[in-house]
């Protein structure tokens, strides 16, 4: 909502500029981590024996694998966040709750 391209930076603009930059770097780092993991897993699964080029089926496997990895990421994310919320709302933060 705030534009980055202002001529002179007043206090507020410097603040939003920094915030936007931090947000963007966080998003890039997150995307990088995801891409790295997708490549690692999908190469392992889809290209067991690398030949001279990627075959049609390897490419198909890759796109399914990517989609699947992201679905898995989302499932983990949902579960992790809900677990955190459950733990925070239960009495003890770390030791609390039944194991």
Partner 1 sequence: MDRSIGSSGNLDMSSLSDSDKRELQQFVMQEAQKATIQQSIHSLTDMCFKKCIGKISSGKLDKYEEPCMQNCVERFMDASHLVLKQLENMRTSS
Residues at the contact surface with partner 1, assessed by CB under 8 A: 9-12, 14-15, 17-19, 21-23, 25-26, 29-30, 33-34, 37, 40-42, 45-46, 61, 63-69, 71-73, 75-77, 79-81, 83-84, 94-95, 97, 99
**CB 62 → partner 1: shortest distance, Å?**
9
Cα(84)–Cα(18) distance, rounded to whole angstroms? 29
Cα(31)–Cα(25) distance, rounded to whole angstroms? 10
Residue (54 or 84) nearer to partner 1, CB: 84
**CB 52 → partner 1: shortest distance, Å?**
22
Query: Distance from CA of residue 29 to its chain's centroid?
Result: 8
Cα(80)–Cα(69) distance, rounded to whole angstroms? 16
């Amino acid at each position: 909502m705030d534009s980055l391209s202002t001529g002179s930076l007043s206090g507020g603009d410097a603040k939003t500029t920094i915030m936007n930059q931090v947000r963007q770097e966080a998003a890039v780092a997150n995307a990088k981590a995801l891409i790295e993991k997708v490549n690692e897993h999908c190469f392992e699964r889809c290209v067991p024996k690398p030949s001279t080029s990627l075959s049609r089926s390897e490419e198909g496997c890759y796109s399914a694998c990517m989609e699947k990895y992201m679905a898995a990421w989302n499932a983990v994310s949902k579960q992790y966040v809900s677990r955190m919320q459950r733990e925070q709302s239960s009495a003890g933060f770390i030791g609390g709750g039944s194991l």
